[in-house]
């Protein structure tokens, strides 16, 4: 089965090429990129080479309505979704990290008996960066939380997704549990979701949600997880704090509070706790170009 990714991008022009190249490297077959910028042209120019050809890696859609992330996801489900693939709803600051030398398709092929796989976050910190650093995020940011986060994202078989169920907002399906129907994030049927190490996700969700990720840290590290670069510098905090608090961006208000309360370095301290150079040392994403002067 192929693997597709759906993403919402706003103010991501500087980081989008690295993110696309990364997912190309791990074997993602298609990226549905929803541009949520007021002016789509700068982002489109950045990704243009990936949108060309008979079967482009990136399908680019400009979606008007700031912060309407769930509506973008539902637009994909209603209008573009293939029926026999894996799909993940992944943010531009999220990099699915596979410790084995396998493609994403090879990894997900181990879970054919499940509806979905829940992939935990490891939150990465900004180090001591006051300003956004030049170069690649995956090369420059090498400090993370010692423990995985209990939250994350899911890769789900599209055959398990019911469009009507999704359109009624009955589940935060991209996290693997429902808002009102917590065991039914994709349809009226109870979902069969695996952890990355092969246990039943809902058993852990019900019995020890706050601690299960910490208790299974070694299992998560040895399989696959999401390297989550949620805050790259103090400058990044300031820019996120300026974001309009609208629709699905309402939770960004927490960053504004951190800025006003001057607690950034205390809040982010745990995400700088340990050094992790796996992405820096194992993923060949360096790209360059030659400049010539005519005359």
DSSP string, 233-267: -HHHHHHHHTS---GGGGGGHHHHHHHHHT-HHHH
What is the pTM (predicted TM-score) of this model? Answer: 0.92
Cα Dmax for the chain: 71
How far apart, in Å, are the Cα atoms of 123 and each of 143, 231, 269? 9, 9, 11
Is 239 among the domain residues? yes
- CA angle, residues 284, 194, 248, in degrees to nearest 5: 75
Is 87 among the domain residues? yes
- Alpha carbon distance 251, 253 (integer Å): 5
Is 117 among the domain residues? yes
Is 129 among the domain residues? yes
pLDDT of res. 253: 75
Is 146 among the domain residues? yes
pLDDT of res. 291: 44
DSSP E strands, 41-93:
58-62, 86-89
Is 242 among the domain residues? yes
Pairing of strands 86-89, 143-144: unpaired
What is the number of other CB atoms lying within 10 angstroms of the CB of residue 90?
22
Cβ atoms of 7 and 36 within 8 Å: the answer is no
pLDDT of res. 289: 46
Cβ atoms of 117 and 111 within 8 Å: the answer is yes
CA gyration radius for the chain? 19
Is 31 among the domain residues? yes
Look at residues 171, 15, 182 and name the one whose alpha carbon lies nearest to residue 91: 15
How is residue 85 written in tokens?
Answer: 């693939």
Cβ atoms of 153 and 119 within 8 Å: the answer is yes
Strand partners, 32: 6, 59
- Alpha carbon distance 246, 184 (integer Å): 27
- Alpha carbon distance 4, 89 (integer Å): 9
Look at residues 66, 63, 67 and name the one whose alpha carbon lies nearest to residue 78: 63
- The whole domain housing 54 covers 3-282
Number of structural domains found in the chain: 1
CATH of the domain at 84: 3.90.550
The alpha carbon torsion through 93, 56, 117, 224 (nearest 10 deg) reads -60
Look at residues 159, 27, 34 and name the one whose alpha carbon lies nearest to residue 85: 159
pLDDT of res. 270: 92
In the chain, which residues have pLDDT < 70?
243-252, 286-295
Is 293 among the domain residues? no
């Amino acid at each position: 089965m192929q693997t597709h990714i759906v993403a919402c991008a706003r103010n991501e022009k500087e980081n989008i090429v690295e993110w696309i190249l990364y997912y190309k490297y791990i074997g993602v077959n298609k990226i549905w990129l929803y541009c949520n910028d007021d002016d789509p042209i700068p982002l489109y120019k950045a990704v243009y080479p990936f949108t060309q050809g008979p079967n482009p890696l990136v399908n680019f859609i400009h979606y008007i309505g700031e912060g309407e992330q769930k509506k973008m996801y539902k637009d994909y489900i209603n209008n573009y979704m293939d029926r026999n693939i894996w799909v993940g709803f992944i943010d531009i600051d999220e990099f699915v990290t596979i410790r084995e030398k396998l493609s994403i398709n090879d990894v997900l092929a181990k879970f054919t008996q499940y509806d979905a796989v829940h992939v935990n976050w490891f939150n990465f910190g900004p180090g001591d960066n006051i300003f956004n650093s030049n170069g690649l995020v995956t090369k420059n940011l090498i400090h993370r939380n010692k423990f995985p986060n209990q939250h994350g994202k899911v890769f789900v078989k599209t055959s398990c997704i019911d469009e009507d169920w999704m359109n009624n907002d009955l589940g935060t399906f991209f996290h693997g549990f429902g808002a009102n129907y917590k065991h039914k994030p994709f349809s009226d049927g109870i979902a069969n979701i695996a952890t990355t190490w092969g246990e039943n996700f809902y058993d852990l969700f019900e019995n020890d949600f706050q601690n299960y990720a910490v208790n299974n840290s070694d299992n998560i590290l040895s399989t696959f997880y999401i390297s989550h670069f949620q805050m790259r510098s103090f400058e990044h905090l300031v820019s996120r704090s300026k974001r309009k608090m609208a629709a699905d961006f309402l939770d960004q208000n927490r960053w504004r509070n951190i800025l006003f309360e001057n607690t950034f370095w205390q809040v982010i301290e745990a995400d700088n706790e340990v050094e992790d150079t796996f992405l820096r040392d194992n993923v060949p994403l360096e790209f360059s170009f030659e400049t010539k002067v005519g005359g």
